[in-house]
Amino acid sequence: MNLLKTALAPLALALALPGVAMAHEVSSGPVVAAGNTFLSVSADGRVARAPDLAMFTAGVTSQGKTAGEALSANSADMNKVIAALKKAGIADKDIQTSNLNLNPIYAPQRPQPDGTVIPAQPEIIGYQVSNMVTVRQRNLAQFGRVIDTLVNAGANQVNGPSFEIDNADAALDEARTDAMKKARARAELYARAAGLRVVRILTISEGGGYSPPQPVMYARAEMMKDAGAPTPVAAGEVALSVSVQVTFELAPQ
pLDDT given at position 28: 65
Q: Residues 235-250: what's their mean pLDDT?
A: 94
224 pLDDT higher than 90: no
Q: What is the pTM of this model?
A: 0.68
68 pLDDT higher than 50: yes
Residues in contact with 174: Cβ distance below 8 Å, sequence separation at least 6, in sequence order: 45, 47
pLDDT given at position 120: 65
Q: Which of 33, 27, 30 is nearest to 203 (CA)?
A: 30
DSSP states along 61-110: EEEESSHHHHHHHHHHHHHHHHHHHHHTT--GGGEEEEEEEEEEEEPPPE
pLDDT given at position 76: 97
Read off the pLDDT band of 3 (50, 70, 90): very low
pLDDT, tens only, 17-64: 444 444 445 556 678 889 999 999 999 999 999 999 999 999 999 999
DSSP states along 108-135: PPEE-TTS-EESSSPPEEEEEEEEEEEE
Q: What is the 3-state secondary structure (H, E, C) of 151-173?
A: HHHCCCEEEEEEEECCCCHHHHH
Architecture of domain 53-109+121-164 in CATH? 2-Layer Sandwich (3.30)
Architecture of domain 28-50+168-252 in CATH? 2-Layer Sandwich (3.30)
> For the chain, which residues make up each domain, given as ranges?
28-50+168-252, 53-109+121-164
pLDDT given at position 40: 96
The crossing angle, in degrees rounded to 10, of helices 143-153 and 67-87 is: 150
Domains 28-50+168-252 and 53-109+121-164 share a fold: no
pLDDT, tens only, 159-216: 989 999 999 999 999 999 999 999 999 999 999 999 999 999 999 999 866 555 544 3
Chain centroid to Cα 39, Å, comes to 32
Question: Contact 168/50 with Cβ under 8 angstroms?
Answer: no
